[in-house]
Amino acid sequence: MQKGGPDSEMPRTGASNTSRLTIRIAALALLSAAPVALAANFDLPVKRSDLSDADMKRVADVTRPTTDFSKAEPYEAMQAGAATSIDPVTEDSFSHISANIPFEEEQNFKLGNALFKKLWVSAPSSTQASDGLGPLYNARSCMSCHVNDGRGKPPEGGVSTTSMFLRLARTPKTPDEEKAIADAQTVNFPDPVYGHQMQDLAVPGLAAEGRMKISYTEKPVTLAGGEVVSLRLPSYSVTDLAYGPLDPTTTISPRVAPAMIGLGLIEAIPDADILAHADPDDSDGDGISGKAAIVRDHRTGHIALGRFGWKAQNATVRDQSADAFSNDIGISTPDRPDAHGDCTDAETKCRKMPTGVQKRLGNEEAPGPVLDLVTFYSANLAVPARRRASFADTLRGKQLFYQSGCAFCHVPKFVTRRDTTEKAQSFQLIWPYSDFLLHDMGDGLADGQQVGLASGREWRTPPLWGIGLTRTVSGHSFFLHDGRARNLTEAILWHGGEAEKARNAFSSLPKDDREALIRFLESL
């Protein structure tokens, strides 16, 4: 991570980096946090190839972090460029199509939306294109978790856990398994019985796998000026296990559904511009590493930069969608073709349940066209325009956000590739406030579960755009990967590890300043 003072140089974007990056990525093997060594030397582009020199300079200029907090930056309110939605703020604010998609293409978005909200039913059923649910599942539809295309939440008062589930993974047990992770052939290994995640629902006649149990312990934290904030420390376990015990080395990691906005634009950020922020060995000594997640594209098998998911385990919206279809709903797609979803061989009754595959329609429950449409929909949900971006108190909060060091990882802006397939995503100045890299977030947030190169202490910096509309869209304000934070202040206070300095800077601010910083976040 390139270091910069609040009023001098800020995290660099752009393409000025050298071949050093290739070496850095190879050097990931030395990371002590990762239990396996990285064998291969993965090459990713370190210089943008989609721009002329003149445009390269324009991009470097426009993405350079601001030092002027006296007024809003040009284009700042339109935080997703021409794709930004300027529709009125309502609970549907995350559900609009990117504003620059032409009317003719809107039909695919609407078809994708129909599939996104479709309640899949158990097989066999008359609606051949809509059956195949499960047999084990967490949700019947995409929208069950991504309600209003927004952020999920932990279960409250014992109600359904939909929109949050437990990811399962055991440690690698053989040198071959270690090598598979190091080569990015797989991100980790499923529990031998329960698979990749705990499904708490099942089709009629089949036992669900088990249930997530959460208990919280309150832990007071005192901030500058004496304000006491209580953080709730969660503890997770599983009950009602229907198929025997978990493997002793299986770890459980809770995950809430993320908001769906701006995903295609995130995919369109050039690898080189993300890698420009990476500093896996912390060679600049600022205490912040920033590690690229190296994964494989599901279809091509090629090395790619992970940028989606809490641990950046997927490189594309399509890959993320196919994983969700398979693990969350139990629907097979061309990229994840097992019609029994996350049923393992040990779950024999589950594997004998009927599937929703109709050969006539394709070899999968959700054939190619269905996955294409859901991907298109997921990639083109608009990011809403900023509110109050130019107000004095917002700008004050913005300055404090930078001065506290938040912007080192929550990198403000990028310019997307010019050569995107979807024209609407091309060459947009976007403000996601993320570096899309992995960071050690300390003991407090550690889930102990390795996902590819991400250790059990590392998480991807989540984008912040839209975060201020969480309550409006989702009716709650639970944040972080498991929704433990009940508001933005708690979310900041949970930051540890590489973010500890920024967190301490925040907690040392006078109350007024802390509130201004929160108001800035609420304007995103």
Partner 1 sequence: MKLNKNVCAALALAVAPLSAAPALAAAPKAADVVKHYAEVGHAKYEDSLTTAKALDAAIDAFLKAPTDETLKAARDAWIKARVPYQQTEVYRFGNPIVDDWEGKVNAWPLDEGLIDYVDASYGTESDENSLYVANVIANKTIKIDGKDVDASKLTPEFLSGTLAEAGGVEANVATGYHAIEFLLWGQDLNGTGPGAGNRPATDYDLKNCTHGNCDRRAEYLKSASTLLVSDLQEMTDNWAPGGAATKHVEENAQAGLTAILTGMGSLSYGELAGERMKLGLLLHDPEEEHDCFSDNTYNSHLNDAIGIAAAYTGEYTRVDGTKMTGPSLHDLVAAKDKKLDTEVEGKLKTTLDAMHAMAKRGETVEKYDQMIGEGNKEGNATVQAAIDGLVDQTKSIQRVIAALDLGKVELEGSDSLDNPNAVFK
Nearer to partner 1, 204 or 248 (CB): 204
Shortest CB 130 distance to partner 1, Å:
4
Shortest CB 294 distance to partner 1, Å:
30
Query: Counting contacts by CB under 8 A, is residue 401 touching partner 1?
Result: no
DSSP state of 160: -
Q: Which of 20, 71, 219, 471 binds partner 1 (CB under 8 A)?
A: 71
Nearer to partner 1, 96 or 291 (CB): 96
Cα–Cα distance between 334 and 125 in angstroms, integer? 21
Cα–Cα distance between 523 and 335 in angstroms, integer? 38
Nearer to partner 1, 148 or 344 (CB): 148
Nearer to partner 1, 18 or 126 (CB): 126
Quick check: 54 and 308 in contact, CB under 8 A? no
Cα–Cα distance between 459 and 482 in angstroms, integer? 12
Residues 338-397 contacting partner 1, CB under 8 A: 354, 357-361, 367, 369-370, 381, 385-391, 394
Residues 179-238 contacting partner 1, CB under 8 A: 199-209
Shortest CB 455 distance to partner 1, Å:
33
Shortest CB 152 distance to partner 1, Å:
11
Strands (E) in 257-335, as ranges, are: 293-296, 303-306
Structure tokens given for 171? 């440690």
Shortest CB 216 distance to partner 1, Å:
23
Shortest CB 290 distance to partner 1, Å:
25
Residues 420-449 contacting partner 1, CB under 8 A: 427-429
Q: Which of 27, 29, 77, 241 binds partner 1 (CB under 8 A)?
A: 77
Shortest CB 287 distance to partner 1, Å:
32
Backbone dihedral angles phi then psi of residue 226, each to the nearest 5 degrees: 95, -5
119, amino acid identity: L
Size of the site for partner 1 (CB under 8 A): 94
Q: Which of 5, 35, 124, 245 binds partner 1 (CB under 8 A)?
A: 124
Quick check: 374 and 116 in contact, CB under 8 A? yes
Q: Which of 12, 140, 481, 514 binds partner 1 (CB under 8 A)?
A: 140
Q: Could you identify the residue written with the tokens 């385990």?
A: 313
Q: How would DSSP label each residue in 408-457?
A: GTS---EE--SS-SSGGGTT-EE-------EEE--TTT-----BTTB-TT
Please provide the size of the chain in residues.
524
Residues 285-344 contacting partner 1, CB under 8 A: none
Q: Which of 2, 13, 17, 144 binds partner 1 (CB under 8 A)?
A: 144
Q: Helices 368-379 and 106-117 sit at what angle, rounded to 10 degrees?
A: 110
Residues 455-484 contacting partner 1, CB under 8 A: none
Q: How would DSSP label each residue in 266-305?
A: HHTS-HHHHHTT--TT-TT-SS---BPEEEE-TTT--EEE
Residues 80-99 contacting partner 1, CB under 8 A: 81-82, 84-92, 94-97
Cα–Cα distance between 507 and 477 in angstroms, integer? 20
